[in-house]
A and B are shown apart, each in its own frame.
Chain A
Amino acid sequence: MSMRKPLLAFAVALALLTGASFAQSPGSQSPNLGKPVSEADIKAWDISVLPDGTNLPPGSGTPAQGARIYAEKCVACHAEGGKGGGAPGAGPLVGGAPLTNGIETAKTIANYYAYATTVFDYIRRAMPYNAPRSLSDNEVYALTAYILALNKLIGENDVMDAKTLPQVKMPNRDNFILPYPDRI
């Protein structure tokens, strides 16, 4: 009989502890197995940039700076002046036919993209193709500036940073339709 008391006490303590941890979460029936973390813990992964500039990092770059980086790290695939064709799959970064040319018109930054932030975001997460995440934020700003200037979407001397990049007006921005607005 005396053996039972500590066991009982342990069981009560366990029940209290369990109850306490469940009480912190909304669904008491939910497993709640995730480890609580802070946004600071996730910072290195949180590279998503939104069209309004949310989460763009500090730093800046110019077309001239970008041209130098491009010559070193991008030209092998994307070719001189962003014309593309240096490697399979590396399409042109400059130019683009009018979309009225047909449904198979190649989509480019100049004729298609709605937001310049997409260019920054994709370079930062995926380029160079053989070494993703190897560019500094300043280098990504500079390459973005270089490509936007090649397309005459910004001036030769414009500085791209967290303030200026979201303000770049992309030509095709207002040409989109939602086929299923009720699904959003």
Chain B
Amino acid sequence: MSTTYRRGRTPSLDLVAGNGLIDRRALLGKGIAVAGAMGAAGTVTGAAAEPLKDEQWSLEFGSIMPPVQTASKYEKDVVRSLSNPQGEFRNSHARTPHHLLNGTVTPNGLHFSINHCGVPDIDPAKHKLVIHGMVRQPLEFTLEQLSRYPLVTRMAFVECAGNSAPMFSNQPLQVTAQALHGLVSNAEWTGVRLSTLLDEAGIDPRAKWLIAEGADAQFLDRSIPVKKAYDDALVAIYQNGEHLMPGNGYPMRLLVPGYQGNMNVKFLRRLKAIDQPAYTYFETKNYSQILPGGKTWRFHFLMEVKSFITHPSFGHHLKEPGYYTISGVAYSGAGRIAKVLVSADGGKSWGEAALQAPVLDKAFTRFQMPWRWDGQPAILQSRAWDEAGNVQPLRAEFVAARGETKQPLASPLLFPNQHYNSITSWAVDSKGEIKHVYA
């Protein structure tokens, strides 16, 4: 009914907010095609084009298909950025190039990865997972056995608690969305419900925690609430349809959707049911936060609602005034995204962005906003709400509650604090260059 009605209407290109933001309904159908309605900045012209001809690649037999295909050679710059490219004897971070990707699924080769002591070389035939502690019957599982269970498939983002940490800097760093937000990625994960395995082992009702431990060279471990284990945790064995990438936990990892990335313990080898948290190294130190005034948070777990614009963003250049689609990702560890607002005037006015369906629980949602850039300075921002009613804080609100550094951060690789989820602002100047600003 509504479709018929829309077809009968004149497309609406109403401006919904300052500096050229267009009603998102323009994305639904014919609106964008009506270039004339968009003013002099429209790029459809009658200027003489070169006559078309067949290119050489159409006139010869193509290349051999490899068994595993990789991206086109023209996409060679679409890579993760490495914190430790020479493989020095320390931890390593690989960040997802959000400003060069689109959609919601992070390709496996580009999924972010942090390893504190290298990537272990695990033989899947020898890897074992044990469940023990406060259980009726300790159990040991192989990958082959877990593969025979009914498998659950779901989308989920995984985000390091230190993602976006450069934005704790009191001055904005001039770096890409990859450098700021590259420690979050989104994938389809397939695995066994942890609740099934805990039920089979017969967990003691007095056990409130699980110590989850990996098979890496520090046996990285975290205390996980049993409550979360029974809510939606998986022992994941597939990532976007193929077995986990080595840097993402091959051959199996814990998936606790919406919780700190570090809790999604990779190379999972042991789950011990206990009645108290273990206060492991990582939950004691790295993933616990100092608050202004010196109090500290522990067992924070939840990755709160966040969004950031990926297109256009730092590193991009707007060639000419005219139509652009502002696009980015939004996600929340507390559920589905309910709404994303976009501003082109630094937060003075906001318009509601279109959300790409399906909008999934604890997963990336792509938002888009049609925009006509008039060639004047603009500040692009996005702000997300989740279905639980949580809203992404404005920077002033966030800094008041969580603080910022006293000196500008010396490098975007540093982690002055964790759980940054305020808005990101990209300033477009009259030449179409983009800077990172606080607005």
Q: Is B126 an interface residue (CB 8 A)?
A: no
Q: Is A42 an interface residue (CB 8 A)?
A: yes
The stretch of B36-44, B194-202, B375-383 that contacts the partner chain: B194-202
Q: What are the residues of chain A within 8 A of B240 when measuring CB–CB?
A: none
The residue in chain A whose Cβ has the minimal distance to the Cβ of B399 is A103
Which residue of B217, B299, B302 contacts A132 across the interface (Cβ within 8 Å)? B217
State the Cβ distance, B319 to closest chain A Cβ, in Å.
39
B199-A112 in contact (CB<8A)? no
Q: What are the residues of chain B within 8 A of A175 when measuring CB–CB?
A: 294-296
B416-A103 in contact (CB<8A)? yes
In the bound assembly, the distance between CA atoms of A31 and B150 in angstroms comes to 9
Q: Is B206 an interface residue (CB 8 A)?
A: no
The stretch of A1-9, A44-52, A147-155 that contacts the partner chain: A44-52
In the bound assembly, the distance between CA atoms of A180 and B227 in angstroms comes to 13
In the complex, the number of residue pairs spanning A and B with C-beta atoms less than 8 Å apart equals: 191
B406-A89 in contact (CB<8A)? no
Q: What are the residues of chain A within 8 A of B325 when measuring CB–CB?
A: none
B276-A51 in contact (CB<8A)? yes
Q: What are the residues of chain B within 8 A of A176 when measuring CB–CB?
A: 288, 295-298
In the bound assembly, the distance between CA atoms of A83 and B130 in angstroms comes to 38
State the Cβ distance, B227 to closest chain A Cβ, in Å.
7
Given contacts A48-B221, A103-B403, A104-B417, A33 and B141 within 8 Å (CB-CB): yes
A99-B290 in contact (CB<8A)? yes
The residue in chain B whose Cβ has the minimal distance to the Cβ of A181 is B299
B130-A37 in contact (CB<8A)? yes
The residue in chain B whose Cβ has the minimal distance to the Cβ of A101 is B294
B417-A103 in contact (CB<8A)? yes
In the bound assembly, the distance between CA atoms of A176 and B404 in angstroms comes to 20
B280-A34 in contact (CB<8A)? no
The residue in chain A whose Cβ has the minimal distance to the Cβ of B138 is A37
Q: Is A164 an interface residue (CB 8 A)?
A: no
Q: What are the residues of chain A within 8 A of B219 when measuring CB–CB?
A: 47, 125-126, 132-133
B291-A103 in contact (CB<8A)? yes
Q: Is A129 an interface residue (CB 8 A)?
A: yes
List of 3 A-B pairs having minimum Cβ-Cβ separation, nearest first = A34-B139, A126-B218, A104-B416
Q: List 17 A-B contacts (CB under 8 A).
A: A30-B196, A33-B149, A34-B200, A36-B139, A37-B130, A42-B270, A48-B213, A50-B278, A50-B279, A51-B278, A100-B293, A103-B291, A103-B416, A104-B168, A112-B284, A112-B296, A179-B299
Q: Which B residues are closer than 8 A to A by beta carbons?
A: 88-91, 117, 130-132, 137-141, 145-146, 148-150, 168, 196-197, 199-202, 208, 211, 213, 217-219, 221, 225, 227-228, 269-270, 272, 274, 276-281, 284-286, 288-302, 402-406, 416-417
Q: Which A residues are closer than 8 A to B by beta carbons?
A: 25-27, 30-39, 41-42, 45-52, 54, 87-89, 98-100, 102-105, 107, 112-115, 117-118, 121-122, 125-126, 129-130, 132-133, 172, 175-180, 183-184
Query: Can you name 10 extra interface pairs (CB under 8 A) apart from A36-B138, A88-B88, A133-B219?
Result: A48-B211, A100-B293, A102-B405, A103-B403, A103-B405, A104-B290, A112-B296, A113-B285, A114-B279, A184-B208
